[in-house]
Amino acid sequence: ARHLYICDFHKNLIQSVRNRRKRKGSDDDGDSPVQDIDTPEVDLYQLQVNTLRRYKRHFKLQTRPGLNKAQLVEIIGCHFRTIPVNEKDTLTYFIYSVKNDKNKADLKMDSGVH
């Protein structure tokens, strides 16, 4: 078997995810956090205000007009965390796309031909 080197940072990251998954299944304490432990935090502050506004418009989020960036990030962050993601399907689609050098536009064209 061929062994690949994994740096300590990534090894610790993998082990911490494994430990969190074990703890997540146990109902020992009644205190369940509002946000899932395994959910990575997305830094929406990195996005431009126009991008945040387009997200708000796309998902038809109701807000008052004239919000600043911090307010937009807060509202969009709450909405973003509620979107369900099927991890298995997403990873399968990603791997398929990478292996076949495809993107969404390619798949739409392929399905229209048949």
Nearest-Å Rg of the Cα atoms of the chain is 20
| CA angle at 58 for the pair 52 and 64, rounded to the nearest 5° | 65
| 114 vs 88 pLDDT, higher one | 88
Boundaries of domain holding 56: 41-100
Domain count, the chain: 1
Tokens linked to 52: 């945040």
Tens digits of per-residue pLDDT, 33-92?
A: 444 445 567 889 999 999 999 999 999 999 998 899 999 999 999 999 888 888 889 889
Looking at the domain assignment, is residue 69 inside a domain?
yes
Looking at the domain assignment, is residue 91 inside a domain?
yes
| 105 vs 35 pLDDT, higher one | 105
Looking at the domain assignment, is residue 2 inside a domain?
no
Looking at the domain assignment, is residue 8 inside a domain?
no
Residue 44 backbone zone (phi > 0: left; psi -120 to 50: alpha; other: beta): alpha
Tokens linked to 108: 């739409």
- Cβ partners under 8 Å of residue 36, min gap 6: 24
Contact between residue 56 and residue 76 where contact means Cβ atoms under 8 Å apart: yes
Confidence of residue 32 (pLDDT cuts 50, 70, 90): very low
How is residue 49 annotated by DSSP?
Answer: H
Looking at the domain assignment, is residue 52 inside a domain?
yes
